[in-house]
Structure 1
Amino acid sequence: MNMSGLLSALILLTIQGSLAQRVRVEPEVVSYPGQMVTLRCLFPNPGETQLTQVSWIFERNDAERTNIAVFHPKFGANYPTKSPVSGRVSFVTDPPSLDNPSIQIREVKMTDEGRYICEYATYPSGNEQGVTSLVMLAKPKNLATTVTVTAGKTPVIVARCESSNGRPAATISWSTPLNGNVTTPIETENPDNTVTVQSSYMLVPQPSDNGKDISCMVTHRTMTQPETFPMRLVVEYPPRVQIVGYDNNWYRGRTSAYLTCQADGNPVPTTITWKTLSGLMPETVQVQENRLAVQKVDDTINNTFICEVKNSLGYGRDQITVFVREFPQPVKGAATGGIFGGILCVIILVALIATIVMVRNCKRKNKDGPPTHKPPPPMKSYSYSDRPSIDTPVSDSQSMHHETEKEEPMTDLSAYHDDKDHHEPSRFSWEDKQSPYQDDRDEDRMMGEEDGYYITSSASRGSSFMSPAVIV
């Protein structure tokens, strides 16, 4: 049963919707206060349906319905006097007709916003209607201001933004680097059907917040782009004071020493007072508004100087104790730093030049290859047993002992070959070596060539006779 009832209701709504579509109206009409608006209505191609009467009904949002215009082909047009648009509404054509029963409303007001129903009385289908929504637009008046506050520890409103007498309600947003909060917008319905929107920005104000930027932006349907209001916060606070100028190097006889009292406050400080902890200002000191000038430093300057600054919210103070030295402290000036920097630059430059020279020399050596001259030959060693003795005969027992060897020059060119030439074949082939002592003969021959003489005969290492004479 439930499914059957739901299906029947759906069919009925579909039929009613198809019937309602036969009355042609504009779904929405937008207007501004003081203008004239036209509400169109047509019933095209009625066919066998007989149109007997047409009525315009005004329905507010609160569901209150009122007839504002009625036309009957026999009795003519009628405009009820109790309607909210009485005296300002009329049919477009005179005389009106059922084919085009459109109406006009002059000097529309914000209270004219609502639903306007064009309803036909027909036979045999009954009443058929079309609904037009009249939307009234009102451009709001926007305003933003800051609130002068005093620095404290409690959140307060520091800026307000308002969009009044707009339709529909405007949208308000904030832009600021501050770490505050935006209050919930408050919308107020006005008697003329407009809306006023108010928004506030809250912050725990600090002296550092004074003068910071904050902007309010209002967006509304009647405006092509948001309206922006840039502002600067106004935070009042008592003076903040700091004494500067003392470098901890005031010595006896120093001239042109100064102390400056720097003060910051809102409102601007009005008075600045210099005092000393001892109560007496030294004779060599001159007070020049926020500046304390010491003509010549002496022992009377060994004192505590106090600066007091006042504005309408209160006062602030700072003090500094001066210690007079007998001799000035060495000052690390710009000259010392320049000398040190110059020395450092010279050291770096010399190191850089040395590095470049070394790199070039290494590249040149690698390019030139191995040295062309032959290195000195290694010493060939002979034992005392190998040498013949001239003065003392050599006994058999002495020949059996091995004594310390003494070196004499010998040449081995293969030991001085460059790494690049270690794969080259030796000047002597293996076929030339006929005996185990061939290497020694070769060495003796090469040594003779190196020193400019030739050996006519050679002896084995085991012989004990003297070498033959050589020709130099």
Structure 2
Amino acid sequence: MFFLFSGSLAVVVDVQPRESVVLPGQNVTFLCKVGVPLQYCRVDIPGMSTFNLNNKLPPRGGVSYYGAGLSAGQCGFTLDSVQEINNGKVKCYLGIETEYQEPFGSMQLTVARPPRQPELDLSRGTDSLRVYKMHDTLHASCVIRDGRPVANISWYLDDELLTGEGLSMPTIVDLAKEDLHSKLQNLTRVLQPSDNGKLLKCVATHPALPENNVAARQLDVKYPPLSQQNPIDKFGYEIGKSGIISVVVEANPKPQIEWTIRGEKIREGNVDRSGRIEAESAQDKGRGHYVANLRIAAINKQDTETQFILTAYNDMGTQEYTVLISTSPEPEGLKKFIYKRYNIHGVEFGASAIVAIVAAILVVFFLVFLTVFAWKTDRWCFSGGAHVIDYTSGGVGGADGGGGGDHHRSTPRVVDGVDNPHHHGSQEYINGNDHPIKEKKIDTAV
């Protein structure tokens, strides 16, 4: 809103909309309103002459009055077909009977102009201009030039939108003469093996672009064969039938393959001494994924007890994989957990065996729980030392010479040792001995 104070009247000019972005050939409508009737409505459009408008005048030059009438305080217009020359500030001037000066409002009319194709620039790799190693830091910059309004930049790795960390704040450069704008943004990323083969894309979005403009570069990231969980378990083989051991190796560049079976080494494309086992050449599945197959003509029991060792290497490093095969079906759920957790291999387990293992584990957990419980609560074998109640120290009127009383009602005193449950203060018993004292008979003369 615009405020104009003249005399005693404050005139508020309400502009709707304040800004509009349109394509060449589209129409646009602006409206200026005040709270008092108007004498006249004059609009100034870039690239065109000034128009005096009201609802009684017919359209002229593609410009027509818009609003509820001057008496309602409304001064608006519609431009039927926007052209490049109309880009800029549009102004409305309002004639008010009580004002010496004209209140006015202004609006920004932006005639969209498509930017140039995005320009993507990548930093040099460690050893080569366009080849990178794992953990190299990639610096990329994208610039989208001469758009109206300024274009938006988005970064993608294949179809994954990159946001947040690694992206700088965009820089906008304005070319004031033609009201054109360029945007520049930088990306920093530590490259991982998973980035290999993916397209790094700088995408420009803009109202004047029928579809997004993209600049893209495929990343070539070198890395050694990646480790996997060892050993690799394979299930479902049958004694006497052929079988294939397949291992997917991730590496870039393509690795060389070698198998070691019971001490014998077999290079890819070769067979073992018996002619029963063949090591096929690694198959390229794209983006650093290679399948190494070992074909066995007739599986025997010894094979299910053998470690098949696959060695994959390239100029970035070497990795070994140990493969174990089994005639059991692939385990699921708890059974699979037990195989992996307790490293059980080369043994065939049925359902009853699995139940027995689980039961044994639960028993062990229960015993551990009882032990901890007893220790925490001083129970059973963890209880404190027992006590002896000493009744010999005398009670009321005891041996210490105090007042009289029943000398058998002594006060107990707790001392270290074991309490004799039969000792109740009687003198007939010796402490620690349950046998009564035999009274010695004195011989008298007859």
* Structure 2 length-normalised TM: 0.42
Which protein is richer in helix relative to its size?
A: 1
* Structure 1 length-normalised TM: 0.41
**Structure whose alpha-carbon radius of gyration is higher:** 1
